[in-house]
């Protein structure tokens, strides 16, 4: 069955093998069958692990490879400000809209949850879930999975686009755990809504994606200390701070009367700060050989070593 025998087979490596990461076949030794594969790895290397797992009624094979990732990048520099109304504001004066996948799927989840409530749910040692309950549950997890996939896809696309032309990326340090902490008292419901929209943008995921992509491309990724720099209050023209309330969306400097959108000004401040950092003092390393693949597997690899 195997169309392209791979040298790894002769080495007797593991339980599976592939065809250089481009489609090809996966052979499971114990099952004695070759499974045609779809998709391709961006960079291929020596496979180290292969995990077969079932997720949402679909089977996946995840392969980690030891490789030197390559990525093209431009020579420009950019500052990025993350928010919830507009997902990202750049120092070039552009806005990247938040896709709101969660908000769009909320209606559907609500509808399905209602159906779920009307079916017999499992109770400990008393009753088993009805077939219909299980079916409804599967439908809900399908919608949730789709939202997660969409968000993941969006994060990586945006990050790849940003990194493709910028080799210096400046953002600010954000404490997402504190930012999305549960609200108390009167503001509880309001805060819950804000948290939902903050989490829907997946700031953390997008930032992480940008970070590793920039480093992979041999560029520089810098995070400004928010407390010290105060990018939302500082003016990019005269470097003085103007106190602001959360509601105002325009930056008007009281020292030099410079006017700019609040988020764009913040992004520009971050970029100026990053340019001022002495680049030689930063450790700019060329990307070394790393393990690429599924996050869960990489975590397992790390644990093995320690
Ligand atoms: Zn000013």
Residue 268, pLDDT score: 93
Kindly state whether residue 120 falls inside one of the protein's structural domains: yes
Q: How far is the CA of 90 from the centre of ligand 1 (A)?
A: 19
Backbone angles phi, psi at 48, to 5 degrees: -110, -40
Most confident of 15-29, 84-98, 193-207: 84-98
Q: Say whether both 63 and 194 belong to one domain.
A: no
Kindly state whether residue 164 falls inside one of the protein's structural domains: yes
Residue 50, pLDDT score: 82
Q: How far is the CA of 258 from the centre of ligand 1 (A)?
A: 5
H/E stretch holding 95: strand 95-97
Q: Say whether both 36 and 103 belong to one domain.
A: no
Q: What confidence tier does 293 reach under pLDDT thresholds 50, 70, 90? A: low
Q: Say whether both 115 and 147 belong to one domain.
A: yes
Q: How far is the CA of 229 from the centre of ligand 1 (A)?
A: 15
Q: How far is the CA of 112 from the centre of ligand 1 (A)?
A: 52
Q: How far is the CA of 262 from the centre of ligand 1 (A)?
A: 12
Q: What confidence tier does 10 reach under pLDDT thresholds 50, 70, 90? A: very low
Residue 4 tokens read as: 């392209």
Q: How far is the CA of 173 from the centre of ligand 1 (A)?
A: 23
Kindly state whether residue 15 falls inside one of the protein's structural domains: yes
Number of other residues whose CB lies within 10 A of the CB of residue 248 = 10
Chosen domain end from 38, 67, 96? 67
Determine contact, residues 15/29, Cβ cutoff 8 Å.
Answer: yes
List, in sequence order, the alpha helices (H) in the chain. 7-11, 101-117, 131-165, 176-179, 188-201, 203-216, 226-229, 262-276, 295-305
Q: Say whether both 59 and 182 belong to one domain.
A: no
Q: Say whether both 23 and 91 belong to one domain.
A: no
- pLDDT tens digits, residue range 143-200? 998 999 999 999 999 999 999 999 999 998 887 777 777 777 777 777 777 777 777 7
Domain that holds residue 38: 7-67
Q: Say whether both 83 and 21 belong to one domain.
A: no
- pLDDT tens digits, residue range 91-100? 999 999 888 8
Q: How far is the CA of 252 from the centre of ligand 1 (A)?
A: 8
Kindly state whether residue 306 falls inside one of the protein's structural domains: no
Q: Please count the helices (runs of H) and the strands (runs of E) in the chain.
A: 9, 12
Q: Say whether both 197 and 108 belong to one domain.
A: yes
Q: Say whether both 87 and 109 belong to one domain.
A: yes
Kindly state whether residue 294 falls inside one of the protein's structural domains: no
Kindly state whether residue 297 falls inside one of the protein's structural domains: no
Kindly state whether residue 300 falls inside one of the protein's structural domains: no
Q: How far is the CA of 260 from the centre of ligand 1 (A)?
A: 10
Chosen domain end from 22, 44, 67? 67
Give the chain's domain count: 2
Q: Say whether both 82 and 63 belong to one domain.
A: no
Q: How far apart are CA 11 and CA 14, in angstroms?
A: 9
Residue 105 has pLDDT above 50, yes or no: yes
Range scoring the smallest mean pLDDT among 2-11, 27-36, 52-61, 167-176 = 2-11
- pLDDT tens digits, residue range 130-147? 999 999 999 999 999 899
CB-based contacts of 115: which residues, under 8 Å, 6+ apart? 136
Q: How far is the CA of 236 from the centre of ligand 1 (A)?
A: 7
Kindly state whether residue 117 falls inside one of the protein's structural domains: yes
Across the chain, mean pLDDT equals 80
Q: Say whether both 33 and 124 belong to one domain.
A: no
Determine contact, residues 65/18, Cβ cutoff 8 Å.
Answer: no
Between strands 33-36 and 25-28, the pairing is antiparallel
Q: Say whether both 184 and 144 belong to one domain.
A: yes
Range scoring the smallest mean pLDDT among 18-32, 222-236, 251-265, 285-299 = 285-299
Q: How far is the CA of 270 from the centre of ligand 1 (A)?
A: 15
**Stretch 296-303: mean pLDDT:** 68
Q: Say whether both 194 and 115 belong to one domain.
A: yes
Give the 3-state secondary structure percentages of the chain, helix then strand then coil, rounded to 5. 40, 25, 35
């Amino acid at each position: 069955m195997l169309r392209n025998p791979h040298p790894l087979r002769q080495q007797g490596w593991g339980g599976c093998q592939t065809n250089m990461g481009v489609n090809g076949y996966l052979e499971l030794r114990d099952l004695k069958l070759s499974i045609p594969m779809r998709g391709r790895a961006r960079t291929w290397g020596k496979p180290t692990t292969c995990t077969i797992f079932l997720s949402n009624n679909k089977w996946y094979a995840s392969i980690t490879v030891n490789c030197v990732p390559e990525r093209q990048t431009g020579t420009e520099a950019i500052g990025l400000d993350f928010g919830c109304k507009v997902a990202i504001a750049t120092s070039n004066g552009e806005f990247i809209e938040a896709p709101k996948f969660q908000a769009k799927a909320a209606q559907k989840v609500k509808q399905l949850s209602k159906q779920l409530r009307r079916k017999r749910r499992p109770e400990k040692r008393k009753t088993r879930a009805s077939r219909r309950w299980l079916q409804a549950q599967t439908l809900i997890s399908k919608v949730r999975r789709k939202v997660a996939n969409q968000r993941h896809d969006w994060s990586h696309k945006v990050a790849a686009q940003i990194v493709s032309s910028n080799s210096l990326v400046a953002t600010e340090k954000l404490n997402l755990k504190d930012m999305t902490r549960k609200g108390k008292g009167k503001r509880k419901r309001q805060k819950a809504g804000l948290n939902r929209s903050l989490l829907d943008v997946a700031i953390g995921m997008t930032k992480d994606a940008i970070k590793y992509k920039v480093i992979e491309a041999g560029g520089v990724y810098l995070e400004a200390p928010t407390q010290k720099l105060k990018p939302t209050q500082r003016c990019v023209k005269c470097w003085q701070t103007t106190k602001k309330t959360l509601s105002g969306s325009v930056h008007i400097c009281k020292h030099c009367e410079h006017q700019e959108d609040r988020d764009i000004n913040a992004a520009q401040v971050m970029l100026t700060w990053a340019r001022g950092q002495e680049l030689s003092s930063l450790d700019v390393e060329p990307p070394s050989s790393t393990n690429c693949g599924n996050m869960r597997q990489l975590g397992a690899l790390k644990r093995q070593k320690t």
